[in-house]
Amino acid sequence: MDERTRYFRRLKRLRGSARRWSVLGGGLAAATAVLTPYAGIGWADAIWAGAAGSSIALAWWRHSDHRELAATPAPPPPPPVLPGAKLSAALERFPAGRTVMNEVRRQKNRYALRGSEITQAWDRLDRAAATLTALAGRLHGPGEGALLEAAVAEEWLRDLGQRVASVERALPLTPPDQRAALAESHGSLATQFTEGVDAYERLVAAAASYVAEDGHPVAEGAHPALGSLIDATDRLRGFAEGLSELKRTPTTVFKQAAADNAGTST
């Protein structure tokens, strides 16, 4: 809900509240004025009078709040909603929808670079960004700062890539006397983009190394969790074998007893 809608909704609530309390206060005041002369002033009349006074006071406060809010300029209307914006916002509320929308945006940006000489570098940037996103949950301590820097660098690289593609599309439309200078600028931007992607990939490789080293045990040998897993497996196997022996023992004893009885009878 935008601020303008919230403003008018609150103004409407205050107007309705002021009207309700005015009607209630007027009714109670009229009832007090009519009923008091019949039995004099007693405790019931005091209740009527107190309720009437409270209602009139609340009505006056609501009218004051309404006048104060109405004197405040209303917030400006929000910008017009683009077609499909509501659907995109609804989809992004769910993890699966967010993934779909990110893929759609990625494909849209990728389509804008079709035929450009930086297409391969753009694909490398996509793969590196996806890899860093998968590693982000395990980057703690120094890795968190590097993750923030990587996000800023990725945004800059994507803007630079779009800029390179726009300049490249404008090259055929440029007059011949200006084309050489524009081509030189385009080549410089493309080189800067490629070098930036190389640096971004090195950062992702360093993040992967950090995650790999962080997962190693402090001491030499296997991780303590692996040893605990092996011990638990051995214990469960021992329990299973013990239960199997207990189940087979009564049957064996019964067969041996039957064989002994048969030998005795003969």
pLDDT tens-place values along the chain, 266 residues long: 567 788 788 888 888 888 887 877 777 777 667 666 665 566 666 676 777 777 878 778 887 877 887 777 777 776 655 555 565 566 556 666 666 666 666 667 667 677 778 888 888 888 888 888 888 888 777 777 788 888 888 888 888 888 888 888 888 888 888 888 888 888 898 899 899 989 989 888 888 888 887 766 555 555 566 667 777 777 777 777 777 776 666 555 555 555 665 655 55
Tell me the backbone φ, ψ of residue 10, rounded to 5 degrees: -65, -40
pLDDT value at residue 218: 54
Residues 6+ apart with CB under 8 A from 196: 153, 156, 157, 160
Q: Indicate the burial class of 117 (C-beta count within 10 angstroms; 0-12, 13-18, 19 or more).
A: middle
Residue type, 132: L
Q: Indicate the burial class of 165 (C-beta count within 10 angstroms; 0-12, 13-18, 19 or more).
A: buried
pLDDT value at residue 29: 76
pLDDT value at residue 249: 61
pLDDT value at residue 250: 57
Q: Indicate the burial class of 25 (C-beta count within 10 angstroms; 0-12, 13-18, 19 or more).
A: buried
For the chain, what is the total number of helices (H) and then of strands (E)?
Answer: 8, 0
pLDDT value at residue 242: 72
The two tokens of residue 83 are 């077609």
Tens digit of each residue's pLDDT (9 = 90 or more) over 145-154: 788 888 888 8
pLDDT value at residue 257: 56
pLDDT value at residue 258: 59
pLDDT value at residue 44: 64
CA distance linking residue 178 with residue 184, whole number of Å: 10
Burial 179-206 (b: 16+ CB within 10 A, else e): eeebeeebeebbeebbebbeebbebbee
pLDDT value at residue 99: 65
